[in-house]
Chain A
């Protein structure tokens, strides 16, 4: 039970923050503003891009790595989607495929350099962060690429704009739905497959894993590929939500994603963490930011509070009994 509490600390944190948000919610016309369904879905929508990044980041952190490039890859993918749709007259499916493939390849390459050349992931992805940002600016021609919709050449197909819309009677934002699907599949992948056993084994003790026949390099490369792929997906969602490919967008998003993973109970040394924890971590930050903003708390104070939450989450993991790994 105790072990479970630590394992899913962010889930309990989320419940706590949620209750606090209800208690502190401003009231307007007899209604709690926080509990308004539109507001709750806004929270999930706002966190969906960071959430998708954080899911990919969870895998990388589980194998003891880190990926600093995801924010830049998000920007690159948003530019890529915009340029392909608007300037190259791609259809939605080919454009999405090309951009996802680009993200996957970018991630795989980082994985290859990390695993095969033995350079630390921090350094490889720090370089990747600069490279992806540079590519985004070059590809966009140094300016944000506006996405206008319609059938004429130079316009994107209407279908793409639906990424910014809502479904189920205009209630559920599509990005939130995509986030949910990604999180669900990732959770499944981390529970039931041999891949999952390998990931945890590498994070727990890479040498031992290698000796016991785990294809360490291959798993690592795939994990970085997956992270790049999801970063590209987040970038596509970004472009669709904002009708814009932003060469500077997503900067610092990697840190928000890492924060979500850490609040979710993962350790940066690897081997510990869950997708459920990460998702709860991301939502916790979203709810916190929302309730603080609804109460007009100064944005600098908000940063301070979120910083303290990260420290608290990491601190809690230090208290975790060693045996429950």
Chain B
């Protein structure tokens, strides 16, 4: 390595470094003193409204269903045009897409954030420009949004834990946990909630692994857990597809007595409710998408010129073989 080259390289390193820090220091804060949103005057029933939907990742069945729910509900409101964007599980891409929506001057933003913190500032920006923002499923930080609509991941984990403790293993027992994608907030919350739910009942989580929310990863991990850890009675999967994977692994290992509990309970053919009905899952818990409720809130804000509550918690429902058919029919009513 010649001296000059080394010099140039260290120059590059040095200047890049200085640029990062120095550029950051000599600027004025753009959002300083941004007050609460000055809402645009409400257009009422005579107006036409464009709604931007920023979805974290359409590749997940749950979020695909959320978009479908929004699409279907919005079809019933003639004033609405809905544009969808898919961030493909990428925080940066989602920020970019919300900025594009703002460039398009949408009338209302519906966003299901990939993660809370990274999306907070762009949501705040939209809100401060007077665009009503409905946040679905995952909250952003602070209170710079119009309304949050969603269920609670910690709570749904707790309910799953209580079900295991009270119904499946009343005398205590051994549980394996197939977790969602490591580093994602619902995986952590569904895990923490579950631990609270089974607390003090002599139930032990004897093994756990990351299934990345995917059916095939869930199966692969369950394969190993069931072979490596004897005496597992219940598998708790952070979502239904991983639960289905665990079911396949249990069948494969000849362990048909193992009970599997999933989460999400999507009311679709390939969803968890049908799996419960068919006996592959012992139970699942409906984590509602909030799509219908979001369009309803949008209608209230834009067409009816009304206020909506800041937080709209959605109920979690337990699905067991007894009520599976009924829940499925009810959630698909009107579609």
In A163-215, the 8 Å CB interface with B consists of 163-167, 170, 174, 177-178, 181-182, 185-186, 188-189, 192-196, 198, 215
Given A146-B117, A182-B19, verify A38-B9 contact (CB < 8 Å): no
Task: Give the interface size class of chain A.
Answer: 35 or more
Of all chain A residues, the one with the shortest Cβ separation from B52 is A296
Q: Closest chain A residue to B58 by CB distance?
A: A299
* Alpha-carbon gap, A188 to B90, bound state (A): 32
Contacts of B86 in A (CB 8 A): 299-300
In the complex, how many angstroms separate the beta carbon of B126 from the nearest chain A beta carbon?
A: 13
Q: Is the C-beta of B167 less than 8 angstroms from some C-beta in chain A?
A: no
Most chain B CB neighbours (cut-off 10 Å) among A137, A147, A240, A293: A293
Instruction: List chain B residues, Cβ under 8 A from A100.
Output: 13, 17
Binary contact readout A205-242 vs B (1 if CB under 8 angstroms, 0 otherwise): 00000000001001100100010011001001110111
Q: In the complex, are the beta carbons of A33 and B104 less than 8 A apart? A: yes
Is residue A42 within 8 Å, beta carbon to beta carbon, of the partner chain?
Answer: yes
Tell me the bound Cα distance from A242 to B141 in angstroms.
12
State whether A166 and B120 are in contact (beta carbons under 8 Å apart), knowing that A222-B1, A252-B90, A299-B86 are contacts in the complex: no
Q: Is the CB of B183 within 8 A of A38?
A: no
Q: Return chain B residues, CB-CB under 8 Å to A137.
A: 182-183
| Whole-angstrom distance between the Cβ of A235 and the nearest chain B Cβ | 11
Residues in chain A near residue B28, CB distance under 8 A: 165, 167, 170
Q: How far is the CA of A93 from the CA of B24 in the complex (A)?
A: 11
Option from B24, B58, B88, B185 in Cβ contact (under 8 Å) with A143: B185
- Of the residues A28, A161, A293, contact of B105 by C-beta under 8 Å: A28
- Across the interface, name the chain B residue whose C-beta is closest to A43: B96
Query: Is B92 part of the binding interface, using a Cβ–Cβ cutoff of 8 Å?
Result: yes
Asked if A143 meets B188 with Cβ closer than 8 Å, knowing A166-B27, A182-B19, A299-B88, the reply is: yes
Q: Give the contacts of B99-142 with A (CB-CB under 8 A).
A: 99-100, 103-105, 115-121, 141
Closest Cβ–Cβ distance, residue A108 to chain B (whole Å): 12
Are the C-beta atoms of A144 and B24 separated by less than 8 Å? Answer: no
| A92 within 8 Å of B (CB atoms) | yes
Contacts of B103 in A (CB 8 A): 33, 36, 38-39, 42, 294
Residue B5 at the chain A interface, CB threshold 8 Å: yes
Select which of B9, B13, B100, B184 is within 8 A of A293 by beta carbon: B100
Interface residues of B in 231-253 (CB under 8 A from A): none
CA of A233 to CA of B5, assembled, Å: 21
One digit per residue, 1 when the CB lies within 8 angstroms of any chain B CB and 0 when it does not, for chain A 89-131 equals: 0001100110010001000000000000000000000000000
- A42-B99, A246-B115 in contact; A218/B188 too (CB < 8 A)? no
Of chain B, the residue at the smallest CB distance from A239 is: B118
Q: Does B183 lie within 8 Å of A140, measured CB to CB? A: yes
Tell me whether B332 is interfacial, beta carbon within 8 Å. Answer: no
Mask, B9-27, CB within 8 Å of A = 1, is 1011101110111011111
* Listed A/B pairs (21) with beta-carbon separation below 8 Å: A28-B104, A38-B103, A46-B95, A46-B96, A96-B21, A142-B187, A161-B29, A165-B24, A174-B23, A178-B19, A181-B23, A193-B4, A195-B9, A215-B1, A226-B12, A238-B92, A240-B24, A241-B95, A244-B115, A246-B115, A246-B183
- 5 residue pairs, one from A and one from B, having the closest CB atoms: A195-B5, A242-B118, A247-B183, A162-B24, A299-B86
Residues of B within 8 A of A (CB): 1-2, 4-6, 8-9, 11-13, 15-17, 19-21, 23-31, 58, 83-86, 88-93, 95-97, 99-100, 103-105, 115-121, 141, 181-185, 187-188
What is the interface of chain A, defined by CB distance below 8 A to chain B?
Answer: 26, 28, 33, 36, 38-39, 42, 45-46, 49, 92-93, 96-97, 100, 104, 136-137, 140, 142-144, 146-147, 159-167, 170, 174, 177-178, 181-182, 185-186, 188-189, 192-196, 198, 215, 218-219, 222, 226, 229-230, 233, 236-238, 240-244, 246-249, 251-252, 289-290, 293-294, 296, 298-300
